[in-house]
Chains A and B, each alone.
Chain A
Amino acid sequence: EADIYQTPRYLVIGTGKKITLECSQTMGHDKMYWYQQDPGMELHLIHYSYGVNSTEKGDLSSESTVSRIRTEHFPLTLESARPSHTSQYLCASQGTGIANYGYTFGSGTRLTVV
């Protein structure tokens, strides 16, 4: 049913490792977003993109980086993971037209850095 996919669902990794969280959508949406959310806490926007080769930082400062080389793909990379990066990362995409402004979220990646 979901048209936006995140992998992996769960990741446990050691400090200092480089990781890439994958996000892909099949809806042809130009706008995509990455959020970080700790358990029981609110969503924080960390990156967004309005199309290919467009990326912007969100409201919450993050040491991660993103790229948007293809419309359907919006990966997030941490060059050197730290325990403070432990969190859930949610990817979302947004359609155009007033009927489609709502976001569709992926199932998330739950990251634990040990």
Chain B
Amino acid sequence: RKEVEQDPGPFNVPEGATVAFNCTYSNSASQSFFWYRQDCRKEPKLLMSVYSSGNEDGRFTAQLNRASQYISLLIRDSKLSDSATYLCVVNIGGYNKLIFGAGTRLAVHP
């Protein structure tokens, strides 16, 4: 079983739609959680950290469920520019090395 699992998609949604991505992780000792965004042929960039209480940044909302070892990302009012791959990222071990999920592809169409 992979340490971080994501639905690979692709999710094809129209502009203005709300879309949610899910991610599960296997290490119950993980403490830090992130969502990264990667555009085609570019480097991953930090989208947002995920906090225990859940957090929101504009149209993006991240949730963490430690009991189920589950992280989610909700995107409201999707824009064409949101088209990218979204990577779920979890820390592991004492040195806080990060484990990247394989990513979920989102395609927003007009």
* Interface residue tally for chain B (C-beta within 8 Å): 21
B43 in contact with A94 (CB, 8 Å): no
- A43-B100, A101-B32 are known contacts. Are A31 and B43 too (CB-CB below 8 A)? no
Tell whether A107 is near chain B: CB-to-CB under 8 Å: yes
CB distance from B5 to the nearest CB of A (A): 11
Tell whether B96 is near chain A: CB-to-CB under 8 Å: yes
B46 in contact with A102 (CB, 8 Å): yes
Tell whether A12 is near chain B: CB-to-CB under 8 Å: no
- A42-B102, A101-B32 are known contacts. Are A90 and B97 too (CB-CB below 8 A)? no
Tell whether A74 is near chain B: CB-to-CB under 8 Å: no
Q: Contact residue range for chain A?
A: 20 to 34
CB distance from B70 to the nearest CB of A (A): 20
Contacts of B42 in A (CB 8 A): 107-108
CB distance from A105 to the nearest CB of B (A): 4
List chain B positions with a Cβ less than 8 A from chain A: 31-32, 34, 41-46, 49, 87, 89, 91, 95-98, 100-103
Can you name 29 A-B residue pairings with CB atoms under 8 Å?
A31-B95, A31-B97, A33-B97, A39-B41, A41-B102, A42-B100, A42-B101, A42-B102, A43-B100, A90-B43, A90-B44, A94-B96, A94-B98, A98-B31, A98-B32, A101-B91, A101-B96, A102-B32, A102-B46, A103-B44, A103-B46, A103-B89, A103-B98, A105-B43, A106-B43, A107-B42, A107-B43, A108-B42, A110-B41
